[in-house]
Amino acid sequence: MGLIGLLGRITTLALALAVVMLAHAAPATAAPIRPVCHGFADPGALPREWSCGATHWRPTARVAWLRFDAASWRDAPPRKLILTIGRFDRATVSAYGDRGVQWSRELHLDDFTALENGPRMAVNLPAVSPQTKSIMVRIDHTWSIHTLSGTRLDASDAPGEPWGYRAMVLLAMLAGLLCAPVIFDLAFYTALRERFLLWHAGMTTGMLTQTVMASGLAVTLFGLTPVQLAVLSPLAFAVAVAAAAFFSAEFLEPDALSPRMRLLLRLSGWWVLLVSCTLALQPPGLGALGGQTYHLSFLPTTLVFGTTMILAVRSGSRAARFQMAAWTPILACGFDRLFRGIGLYSLPMAADQAIYLAMALEVVITMLGVADRFIVLRGERDRANARAQELEAAIERDPLTGLFNRHGIEDRFAAFRNAGFDTLAVVDLDHFKAVNDAMGHAAGDCVLAAAAAALSDDPDLVAWRLGGEEFLLLLRGRNATARAEARRQAIPGRVAATIPGLPAPVTASMGLVEMQRGSMLATPYAELYARADRLLYEAKHAGRNRTCSEKVTLFAGGDRRVADRRRSARQAA
């Protein structure tokens, strides 16, 4: 299945989930009942002071108390206790009337059921009578302040708010949107092998997991319990932040940051993995300090991230500009959650939806940044490849004649054999030293260039200058021997037309070996060259301006036999 088809299926699933959730939309219900006052006390004691109407939730002791008055529910008595998902030791709910305690119930995290419309959990309450004046909720050693600030009573069997089904549909669509970058990252990594793609996939996966866990989608899709959600949601967020630090360290251009700042960015990622992830597992004994410490543990990474982005932008980094635009909304939401997590103030739970909008913006902007980075990397690689080709050409080409030089000929010989080149010839100009002595080295260079032009004038011939006045030819196709001889005989005319006034024609001698294709594949370059070189010197000793050649056949059993040995051809000057 292609990438487009896979993305189509993901989109279809997201839309189907949206339709299902809309079809199961709950009817409108009364707003949850908020506590009128809250306070903190040590175990076994009541709060000395109550905060009524205050927005801050800074704990001053390990036990939190919340008071709900009957005037808040009037004729619709509460049926459920609702908490924001988070770990705590125990919760005690007590109803009070004119004669004191009417009933009391002790609850633990396992007693709650996760809700589908937001990061909340609920438990049924005993019947609340008309004589009930107030309900007191005591929560011991809560891990997160959000658990306290989000505590509500609800009069309906199917609690509504804080997130309506319209918001849940949008979150389902966001989850589908977050799947696409992961697929793109993994697909592009197979081609580019850039590590920042893996870190971006990890970051997006963490965001996707946190969105599914914290929004209630995990309850709809996987039926997770509050105990599981209380750990997985903060853990996924910590993993996403750590991956973001590693992603930025790899994604920013090499000259955007100093090595120390890049190392500091990586260390901040390891800090989150080791410290924040450990705190997300909610080790026992920390109580409310665990949640506050968890939120504060992101502060060093946030400061490092902000500092490195500012420095990178000031250095002219294109990638950093995309990063700043993508992460500014998330950082703003992160600081908001940090301040609320340590109890400085509280906001309605719907304010948590802002982080998901920020995630959607981050995904879109970061993918634009990744695409821009691809364009930059491709340009850099194209320029590097062009430069490498220029250097390769400079190394492998003879600057005087434009032919290949002897560097790499043996390494490439197998490729030429496979391409059908089955004839090898060595050509040497006759009495070339006399040309240099009579006309000078400049004229000698012109003679070499003209000879090279004469030799290479064949589409099925590849020529090398081995050094001095010696050349090597590889030929393929029909009549290869005759065509090589024609190239040798073309040298005097080409040289005379190019350099007038030479005292004598410039001729050439050639040694040539022609083999059957199967034999060519079985014969190494060194052996063929040595055979052709011996034939060249035979041509020289026979009077020059001629060709000595032989045709070699490989018979069964690997035994070589030579036919038409030392055929000689001579062209008069």
The pLDDT value recorded for residue 370 is 75
Whether pLDDT at 572 is above 50: no
252 and 171 belong to one structural domain: yes
The pLDDT value recorded for residue 163 is 57
Name the band, by pLDDT with cuts 50, 70 and 90, for residue 348: low
The pLDDT value recorded for residue 559 is 46
The pLDDT value recorded for residue 342 is 61
CATH number, domain with residue 543: 3.30.70.270
Over residues 37-51, mean pLDDT: 83
Its pTM surpasses 0.75: no
392 token code pair: 């390769």
- Cβ neighbours around 527 below 10 Å, total: 13
Q: 267 or 562, which is more confident?
A: 267
The pLDDT value recorded for residue 350 is 59
The pLDDT value recorded for residue 6 is 47
Whether pLDDT at 535 is above 90: yes
150 and 169 belong to one structural domain: no
197 and 115 belong to one structural domain: no
Whether pLDDT at 353 is above 90: no
Indicate whether 469 belongs to any domain: yes
Q: Look-up: residue for tokens 């509050």?
A: 226
142 and 171 belong to one structural domain: no
Name the band, by pLDDT with cuts 50, 70 and 90, for residue 61: low
Whether pLDDT at 1 is above 50: no
Over residues 382-406, mean pLDDT: 74
Cα gap 366→364, rounded to integer Å: 6
Taking 3-state DSSP, the helix, strand and coil percentages for the chain, each rounded to the nearest 5, stand at 55, 20, 30
Indicate whether 21 belongs to any domain: no
The residue type of 330 is I
The pLDDT value recorded for residue 352 is 66
Among 360, 386, 412, the domain boundary falls at 386
116 and 204 belong to one structural domain: no
Indicate whether 16 belongs to any domain: no
Indicate whether 10 belongs to any domain: no
231 token code pair: 């750990």
Whether pLDDT at 29 is above 70: no
57, 145 in Cβ contact below 8 A?
Answer: yes
Cα gap 362→359, rounded to integer Å: 5
Q: Check 469, 485, 514, 538 and give the catalytic one.
A: 469
The pLDDT value recorded for residue 558 is 45
Cβ neighbors of 193 (< 8 A, separation 6 or more) are none
The pLDDT value recorded for residue 158 is 65
379 and 457 belong to one structural domain: no
197 and 269 belong to one structural domain: yes
184 and 287 belong to one structural domain: yes
Over residues 270-275, mean pLDDT: 94
230 and 374 belong to one structural domain: yes
439 and 343 belong to one structural domain: no
Q: 42 or 95, which is more confident?
A: 95
Give residue-wise pLDDT tens across range 214-249: 777 888 888 899 999 989 989 998 999 999 999 889
Whether pLDDT at 160 is above 60: no
CATH number, domain with residue 77: 2.60.120
Order of strands, edge to edge, in the sheet holding 134-140?
Answer: 51-52, 37-41, 63-69, 134-140, 90-97, 100-107
Over residues 246-257, mean pLDDT: 88
The pLDDT value recorded for residue 153 is 92
State yes or no: is 469 an active-site residue: yes
Indicate whether 144 belongs to any domain: yes
Cα dihedral 276, 278, 279, 281 in deg (nearest 10): 130
In the DSSP assignment, the letter for residue 254 is T
Give residue-wise pLDDT tens across range 308-330: 888 988 888 888 888 888 878 87
Indicate whether 398 belongs to any domain: no
Whether pLDDT at 521 is above 60: no
The pLDDT value recorded for residue 7 is 44
Over residues 340-368, mean pLDDT: 70
- How many domains is the chain partitioned into structurally? 3
Q: What is the mean pLDDT of the chain?
A: 81
Indicate whether 23 belongs to any domain: no
The pLDDT value recorded for residue 216 is 77
Share of the chain above pLDDT 90, in %: 30
CATH number, domain with residue 351: 1.20.1070
| Host domain of residue 481 | 404-570
443 and 541 belong to one structural domain: yes
Please give the span between the terminal C-alpha atoms of the chain, in angstroms, as a whole number.
70
Asked if the peptide bond before residue 162 counts as cis, ω within 30 degrees of 0, the response is yes
50 and 115 belong to one structural domain: yes
Among 351, 386, 421, the domain boundary falls at 386
Cα gap 327→362, rounded to integer Å: 6
Indicate whether 394 belongs to any domain: no
